[in-house]
Amino acid sequence: MQMIGFPGLVLTVVLILYVIIKALSGFDMAQRITFFVGLVGGSFFLGSFVFGYFSSNASGSSFLTLPASHFEKWLCGILIAGVFYPIVFLVFYCGIDTGFVALYHNGLDPSSPFYKQAYESVYTFDLSGVIAVNVYILFFIYTGAMLLGSLYFNKVSVIKTAIALCIICLVIFGANWLFASLLFGNIDDAAPFNHVAVPLGNDVGSIELPAGIAKICKYAFFYVMPAAFWLLSFTRLREKEF
């Protein structure tokens, strides 16, 4: 019931948020926020349900009677959170986004001198654009972290995993800022493994990582780390079942 009911709840919330934000801030803001909330937020909470049954010996023991290997159980959870849910969400999102945009376009007056400008100001969300790609990366990072966290934390894994992620981010940003301050003195901004902004009189100069190292860091954080989360959940799943 959780596997079916929760995605249905998320889709309903996304629809309501889309309507509210669209009325308050327009299509662009509504599309960005609801796409992030639906894909990243929905999969994050769903991930806690997928492996939540293995959070204790009592609940996990019921799965030992099933004629399935550790890999099959892990693969089942991965398919639910990492394949089926994103597909269902994307199909649903494309449907509501296309529908609302079409209603807006059909409601315009073709005889208006601002018709073309108003028509072209609203368009469907680009699922292959920069914003969508960044959301996909966050989806793999946070969903993988939640799948792993649901196996490490016995109770309220959603809250504990979220707190753990926040602590990790604070430590990384804090250590990066401290290290940059020690090296460059007064700094204006410092993004981990990206750049350091240093005040130069009335201007601000930016010191960036060399292209080769920046590319390595990008692949490490955007691809290697998420893959490690997803794969480590399999190792932890085997440890939980005994």
- The three state secondary structure string of 175-196 is HHHHHHHHHHCCCCEEECCCEE
What integer pLDDT is reported at residue 194 of this predicted model?
Answer: 74
- Give the pLDDT confidence score for residue 124 in this predicted structure: 92
Domain span at residue 84 reads 2-155
In a domain, 37, yes or no: yes
Longest dimension (CA), the chain: 72
In a domain, 130, yes or no: yes
What is the structure's pLDDT at 56?
Answer: 52
What pLDDT does 214 receive?
A: 80
- Domain total for the chain? 1
The four Cα atoms 36, 40, 46, 47 give a dihedral, to 10 degrees, of 180
The answer to whether the CB of 143 falls within 8 A of the CB of 81 is: yes
Instruction: Identify whether 58 is part of a domain.
Output: yes
Distance CA 209, CA 211 (A): 6
The answer to whether residue 113 sits within a structural domain is yes
Is 185 a member of any domain?
A: no
**Rounded Cα–Cα distance for residues 223 and 228 (Å):** 9
Give the pLDDT of residue 200: 74
Looking at the domain assignment, is residue 161 inside a domain? no
Please give the pLDDT value at position 61.
Answer: 46
Q: Identify any residues that bridge with 196 across adjacent strands, giving them in sequence order.
A: 190, 207
Flag whether 57 is in a domain: yes
Q: Is residue 232 in some structural domain?
A: no
Low-confidence stretches of the chain (pLDDT beneath 70): 1-2, 52-68, 239-242
